[in-house]
Amino acid sequence: MYHLQSVYMGPIMLDVLGTSLTAEDKELLQHPLVGGLILFTRNYESPQQIAELTADIRRAANKPLLIAVDHEGGRVQRFRDGFSLIPAMGKIWHYGDQNIVAAQELAKQSAILMALEVQAVGIDISFAPILDIDDISAVIGDRAFHKNPEIVCQLASAFVDGLHLVGMKATGKHFPGHGSVEADSHLALPIDPRSRDEIFSVDMLPFKTLINSNKVDALMPAHVIFPDVDPEAVGFSAYWLKDILRKQLGFSGVIFSDDLSMEGAACVGGYVERAEAAQQAGCDMLLLCNNRDSCIDVIDHANISIDEKSNQRLLRLLKTSTSGLRELKANTHWQHARQALAKYL
């Protein structure tokens, strides 16, 4: 079915169903439009098994491939048994006794611990940190660092320092902020009726701050509509992604779509239309998860292409560390991070 090879990283990130690859998985991974793969809890049995799976994925793809996971900490941590538990980011301010220096150190050590363990099993990035504020969104909640955007800026910056120290790139989400809207974009399309000024001065502040300080390597837009800014959901809006994010904020990193299977993405039609709209709006990589038939439909029928600029941006997210599970426990950064977080894990 799919035999073409590509030296480029295509714009589609797909998933696989199980703990090992099927023949169809292997064929899809070789398709030139496929440039990434995201892993879930269903793919995990043990650290050794997931390391073997990522090695099999790279062998099957036989080209540069970005492997990702949502391993934020707290309730969004895909691998648990055999991995260190990472605290929810919303707990860190309290663990640090509401002292910004102590909380920043805990944020940094959380990132180091997470990144080292994820990279040791062959994964390039975790989609973190959350730059949303903890306001009224239940789906965000304690995934966010704090309600105060200034504190979010400080803790997220320290978290990114930890990622970068051990070689992982940072992905901020969900631009320009999902925390101040109640609906869950997995289940519905949230609409945030607040003024442009409030959105830009409050929710967007962490994104703007980390972009200005060159701390964020990739961003993931929210499946949210902000009618006072643009009638399109952010991830399908060229105004949000090309004009505001690229031109006004000067962001030069990767833009990932959020999962196009989410209900919040249905506002633009079926999967083919979603993929086309997201790429046309400015997304470099399109996440197509939990619906294999629709993923194949997009590959076969969507008018999407491999873009040279996107390819160069995506290549920068690949991990450079070759250390595996055998070297992990001897790593001094890992040891120190475990000790720093021991009483909270």
Burial 159-193 (b: 16+ CB within 10 A, else e): bbbbbbebebbbbbbbbbbbbbbebbbeeebbebe
Is there a catalytic annotation at residue 15? no
Q: What is the CA radius of gyration of the chain?
A: 19
Is there a catalytic annotation at residue 301? no
Which of the residues 94, 161, 164, 186 is marked catalytic?
A: 186
Q: How would you write the chain as a 3-class SS string?
A: CCCCCCCCCCCEEECCCCCCCCHHHHHHHHCCCEEEEEECHHHCCCHHHHHHHHHHHHHHHCCCCEEEECEEECCEECCCCCCCCCCCHHHHHHHCCCCHHHHHHHHHHHHHHHHHHHHHCCCCEECCCECCCCCCCCCCHHHCCCCCHHHHHHHHHHHHHHHHHCCCCCEEEEECCCCCCCCCCCCCCCECCCCHHHHHHHHCHHHHHHHHCCCCCEEEECCCEECCCECCCHHHCHHHHHHHHHHHCCCCCEEECCCCCCHHHHHHCCHHHHHHHHHHHCCCEEECCCCHHHHHHHHHHCCCCCCHHHHHHHHCCCCCCCCCHHHHCCCHHHHHHHHHHCCCC
Which of the residues 134, 258, 259, 284 is marked catalytic?
A: 258
**Active-site positions?**
186, 258
